[in-house]
Amino acid sequence: MFNKSYLEMNEFALILKEIASHYLAVKENTEFNRTKNKMLVHLMDRCLRVASHMIAPDASELAFERAQKNNVDIFKLREKDRNKVDAKIKKNDPSDKEKFILEHYMPVNIIIKEMLNDSKNNRFCFEDALKKIKVIWVLKSEDEELNSNGHRINRPNPKEAYELANIKIKLNPNQENWLL
């Protein structure tokens, strides 16, 4: 899933490296340091989530079908527009109770743990972490299925989790033109 958006994320990798170096530098286990490290992990989380908006989203087949039925190009849908699109669909079809959810294929908390456990702690390990960001439009019912299978934040094998939830993924054909 490599596209040119990843190439433009070097700044995120440098930011993540700085945050992680502060996190890893803490030696004393004091209340202040525990609080500081929680804040640093929160900063890493926010950084990865912001970087996610630069990645072309894929879509589940069901989300794709719902979008197509309602004349929405899901592969160009931005998260900031999701609520407007859901409201428009519900207005046109009050029986449609579904919602679009932009889901991280691999949970952000797992990516953070991998970054903090990488002994190299160099820019390239953070660039590799950024390459693991993949976002997928799914329906709320599909997201609930992932969660009920115990895969809300514990998804070390995303492919297996999505297969267990019977979610089939359609790749975004606009990979190279995302955000242009």
Q: Domain-by-domain residue ranges, the chain?
A: 4-174
Lowest mean pLDDT, pick from 95-104, 114-123, 155-164: 114-123
Structure tokens at 138: 């799914």
In terms of pLDDT, which residue wins out, 37 or 156?
37
Contact 77, 57 (CB under 8 A): yes
Q: Supply the pTM of this predicted model.
A: 0.85
- What lies within 8 Å, CB to CB, of 129 at 6+ separation is 13, 16, 48, 111, 114, 115, 118
> What band does 121 get if pLDDT is binned at 50, 70 and 90?
low
Q: Tell me, what's the pLDDT at 87?
A: 93
> What local confidence, expressed as pLDDT, does residue 119 receive?
64
State the pLDDT confidence band at 2, using cuts at 50, 70 and 90. very low
- pLDDT category at 134 given cuts 50, 70, 90 is very high
Report, as an integer, the average pLDDT of 115-123. 73
Residue 92 CB neighbours (<10 A): 10
Read off the pLDDT of residues 26-85 as tens digits, 9 standing for 90 and up.
Answer: 878 899 988 999 999 999 999 999 988 888 999 999 999 999 999 999 999 999 999 999
Query: In this model, does residue 104 exceed pLDDT 50?
Result: yes
- Average pLDDT over the chain reads 87
Amino acid letter at 165? Answer: A
Distance in angstroms (rounded) separating the CA atoms of residues 29 and 31: 7
Asked if pLDDT for residue 180 goes beyond 80, the answer is no
* DSSP β-bridge partners for residue 169: 60
